[in-house]
Amino acid sequence: MCMLDKRLQVLVDHERYERLAKRAKERGTSIGMLVREAIDSCYPDVEPRRKLAAKRILAAEPMPLPDIKEFKRELDAIRGNRH
């Protein structure tokens, strides 16, 4: 588990607080844990996914590429820029 070392103060209305308190009690956890889970759910850390994607790209088998002129013709055809 990570070290909790930053304090965040957020004001909420009575209704929201009661919803959080009820859910925390049902789950046997704290309101703070619910807020941390909500943050992680709404704002996930994308860096691990980027690192994994980069590793997969770098580990991929090399693939043959056409001649650059042929490749350009293929791209132009796909884009509808036939010359």
Residue 74 — pLDDT band, cuts 50, 70, 90?
confident
Quick one: pLDDT at residue 1?
55
Quick one: pLDDT at residue 50?
85
Residue extents of the structural domains in the chain: 14-61
Residue-wise pLDDT for 2-61, tens only, equals 789 999 999 999 999 999 999 999 999 999 999 999 999 999 887 888 888 889 999 999
Q: What is the pTM of this model?
A: 0.55
Average confidence (pLDDT) over 58-74: 88
Nearest to 34 by CA among 43, 24, 25, 26: 24
Q: Is 80 left (phi over 0), alpha (psi -120 to 50) or beta?
A: left
Q: Please enumerate, as own/partner, the contacts of 7-12 that have beta carbons within 8 Å and a separation of 24 or more.
A: 8/35, 10/35
Q: Where are the alpha helices (DSSP H) in the chain?
A: 14-27, 31-42, 47-59, 68-79
Quick one: pLDDT at residue 21?
98
Quick one: pLDDT at residue 22?
98
CA of residue 14 relative to chain centroid, distance: 31
